[in-house]
Amino acid sequence: MTEKKKAPARTRGTGATSKKAAATKELVAVQEESAAQELKRPHVHKWPEISVVIPFRKDKAEGDELLYAVRAWAKNFPQAKIVVIGDALPWFSKEIIHISFEDSSDNAQVNTTGKIMAAIASADVTEQFLLSCDDIYPVTPLDGADFLILRANATPLKERRTKGGHYQKNLERTVKALNKAGIVNPHDYDTHTPYFFDKEVLADVIAFYDCAGEDAKLLPSLYFNSCYPHIIPLKLDPVRGQYVGRVVNTTGNDGALSKAFEERKYINHDHGCYKRCEPFLKAKFFEKSRFEK
């Protein structure tokens, strides 16, 4: 009797194996899709809301810079709780917390320190808050982790040179105070980007360095050099970097500025350069926010 040959193992059940593989692949795809839907981004700090404090004096402001700064925060950091300290504007809605403050000095840093102290004293300002300006615009989406990155200008504080006047004297006093505290080569943390402050610690820094009077100092540099003396911060390059773009001229390459509005985290500008930014701000932040009537 001739023995019946068995089919080769590689051909036996090929159809069943193929179907099983297809089913497995489909199951894996479903599992991956399900996992992707369930995954949540990690948050270093998950604030339901955090105050964004903006000192403001309307006779020193340019155009609608505060309006576009507020719209930028509303769009790119929705948990922002806007607090304006200083003057109010007619378009403020009830969503904006306004704390009245009248400037008393021709030294801008003295007035800013006074407004920061008003923020510390206010129960309407969260215990940890962001200090910003009316000419700082978050132009891409932000997360809480963004504000915890220490960042400084590339040049050490003691080597920074300004046009003179009050700011230069404020800077020199800051370097001297930090040196006296044992911080020999302080970083320049006055980057004109938002600063993350803790109320209690900031109050201690103001008291320790005697910042409340006319002998004003640069608070961000005092605060971050004192709190993190051994940390090397991220060094910013406003021209070629990707963190902040600073507009310092009234004319220039519109293509480069348009690209900066799409790729940087923040845009800011020197006094007198708002008009250069205005068309880009209008195009990017044309929708009203909850902070407007």
220-230 confidence digits (pLDDT tens): 999 999 999 99
Q: What is the pLDDT of residues 272-284, one digit of tens each?
A: 999 999 999 999 9
Indicate the SS3 state at residue 47.
coil
**Distance linking the first and last C-alpha atoms of the chain:** 98
Indicate the SS3 state at residue 85.
strand
Q: What pLDDT does 44 receive?
A: 53
**Of 31 and 92, which is predicted with more confidence?**
92
Q: What is the pLDDT of residues 73-129, one digit of tens each?
A: 999 999 999 999 999 999 999 999 999 999 999 999 999 999 999 999 999 999 999
pLDDT above 60 (res 30): no
Q: What pLDDT does 39 receive?
A: 59
Residue 240: pLDDT band with limits 50, 70, 90: confident
Q: For the beta carbon of residue 89, count every other beta carbon within 10 angstroms.
A: 16
Residue 3: pLDDT band with limits 50, 70, 90: very low
Q: For the beta carbon of residue 241, count every other beta carbon within 10 angstroms.
A: 16
Q: Residue 165, Cα to own-chain centre: how many angstroms?
A: 28
Task: Cite the DSSP H helix spans in 77-195.
Answer: 108-121, 165-180
| Sequence-distant (≥ 6) Cβ neighbours of residue 133 within 8 angstroms | 54, 55, 69, 192, 268
Which letter does DSSP use for residue 243 in this model? S
**What length does the chain have?**
293
The token pair that represents 34 in the structure block:
């399900």
Q: Residue 221, Cα to own-chain centre: how many angstroms?
A: 16
Q: What pLDDT does 19 receive?
A: 60
**Of 77 and 39, which is predicted with more confidence?**
77
Q: What angle do CA 165, 171, 172 make, to 5 degrees?
A: 95
What CATH number belongs to 50-284?
Answer: 3.90.550
Q: What pLDDT does 289 receive?
A: 98
Q: What pLDDT does 239 receive?
A: 79
Q: For the beta carbon of residue 49, count every other beta carbon within 10 angstroms.
A: 10
Residues 216, 214: Cα–Cα separation, whole Å = 5
CB-based contact 151:191 (threshold 8 Å): yes
Q: What pLDDT does 211 receive?
A: 93
Helix, strand, coil % (nearest 5) of the chain? 40, 15, 45
Q: What pLDDT does 17 receive?
A: 54
pLDDT above 50 (res 42): yes
Q: What pLDDT does 165 receive?
A: 86
Residue 23: pLDDT band with limits 50, 70, 90: low
Q: What pLDDT does 48 receive?
A: 84
Summarize the confidence of residues 162-170 as an average pLDDT. Answer: 85
Q: What is the pLDDT of residues 167-188, one digit of tens each?
A: 999 999 999 999 999 999 999 9
Can you give the residue ranges of every domain in the chain?
50-284
